[in-house]
Amino acid sequence: MDLTLILFIVLAITAIATAIGLLVSRNAVYAALFLVLNFATVAVFYLLLGAPFIAMAQVTVYAGAIMVLFLFVIMLLGAEKLPKGQALPWQRPLAIVLTVVLLAEAGILLFQRLSITTALSNPEAALNTEGAVRGLGAMLFSQYLLPFEVTSVLLLVAMIGVIVLTKENKA
Amino acid sequence: MIPLTYYLVISAILFALGALGVLIRRNPLIIFMSVELMLNAANLAFVAFSRAFNVLNGQIFVFFVMTVSAAEVAVGLALIVVIFRTKHSIDVDLMSSLKG
């Protein structure tokens, strides 16, 4: 058993445990912190997969910006603990059954039809970080230039939308 | 090295847990977080395939997914703040009327 596999298993257990923690925690702030840990774990997965730029973007954009926004809104609204309303009695069992069906479908696809068992080779190439980032940048500004520019419009629209939505109604 | 299937299994499990969170939780903030978890699971599958086929397109898509999810979170949280302002609660069961 080599070191990478051990690291992978530890990360996998952490990722799944934090995801379950997100689901079961009663306090929304704890849920947000579990999600931050989950994002950090996925970032390490990206490093293992030889995607350093995506890993850093994951840490800064998700674990940094998005989760800070979440925590800010949770504390602004004081919504850490919602009063427990009466849940629909069949909601939870039905949700669990549906999730198990979804997982079973994914498992069938993965192990019967896809059957990709080839190991991801050459870890040396993954360490060649400079080349990977350079390739990504070149691709982003040539082949994917139009989507990249459309992204800026999307962010602008989202920004204006948020300002308009949260504006106090003076009239 | 680690087979591609392992990454896809992790991705599938995280996606299923996110879907479960959307179905069972009633706090809209936690529902939003579960949606983010599902987007992350999809991103993980993208990067794993990108590595397996040795092309960078998957990573570019992850970049775009991140941008879209950032915009989505900003707008969604603004909506939650506005709903809280009008109804003084954010329980999903109370969001049943189209008129404020």
- Residues in chain A with pLDDT values less than 70: 1, 79-80, 82-87, 113-131, 170-171
* Tens digits of residue pLDDT in A88-137: 778 888 889 999 999 998 888 887 766 555 556 554 455 455 667 888 88
- Contact: B77, A140; criterion CB under 8 Å: no
Q: Do B3 and A119 touch (CB under 8 A)?
A: yes
**Which positions ≥6 away from B76 have C-beta within 8 Å?**
B32
What pLDDT score does A33 carry? 93
Of B31 and A133, which is predicted with more confidence? B31
The reply to whether residue B82 touches residue A39, judged by beta carbons under 8 angstroms, is no
Cβ neighbours around B9 below 10 Å, total: 17
pLDDT digits (tens, 9 = 90+) for B69-98: 999 999 999 998 888 888 877 777 777 777
Work out the pLDDT band at B27, boundaries 50, 70, 90.
confident
pLDDT level of residue B99 (50, 70, 90 thresholds): low
CB contact under 8 A, B1 and A119: yes
Q: What is the pLDDT of residue A118?
A: 58
Is A22 close to B3, i.e. CB distance below 8 A? no
Cα–Cα dist A52/A159, whole Å: 28
**pLDDT at site A150:** 94
Q: What is the pLDDT of residue A87?
A: 67
Of B9, B32, B44, nearest to A45 by CB-CB distance is: B44
Say how far apart CA A82 and CA B6 lie, in whole Å: 37
- B78 has a chain A CB within 8 A of its CB: yes
Domain ranges across chain A: 1-81
Contact residues on chain B for A98, CB-CB shorter than 8 A = 19, 23
Tokens for B93, please give them. 């069961």
**Whether A162 contacts chain B with CB within 8 A:** yes
User: Could you tell me the residue ranges of all domains in chain B?
Assistant: 4-93
Mutual angle of helices A67-77 and B57-87, in 10-degree steps: 10
Closest partner residue to A106 (CB to CB) among B12, B64, B75 is: B12
Mean pLDDT score of chain B, rounded to an integer?
A: 88
Query: Per-residue confidence at B54, pLDDT binned at 50, 70, 90?
Result: confident
CB contacts under 8 A, A 125-154 vs B, are 126, 132, 135-136, 139-140, 144, 147, 151, 154
The CATH code that applies to domain A1-81 is 1.20.120.1200
pLDDT value for A117: 55
Chain B residues close to A138, C-beta within 8 Å: none
Fold of B4-93: Helix Hairpins (1.10.287)
Per-residue confidence (pLDDT) for residue A35, from 0 to 100: 94
Scanning B25-95, the segments in alpha helix (DSSP H) are 28-52, 57-87
What is this model's ipTM? 0.90
Axis crossing angle, helix B4-24 with helix A3-24, rounded to the nearest 10: 10
The residue that leads in pLDDT, B31 or B86, is B31
Tokens 């939780």 found at: B25
A93-127: b (≥16 Cβ within 10 Å) or e: eebeeebeeebeebeeebeeeeeeeeebeeeeebe
Q: Measured between CB atoms, does B65 come within 8 Å of chain A? A: no
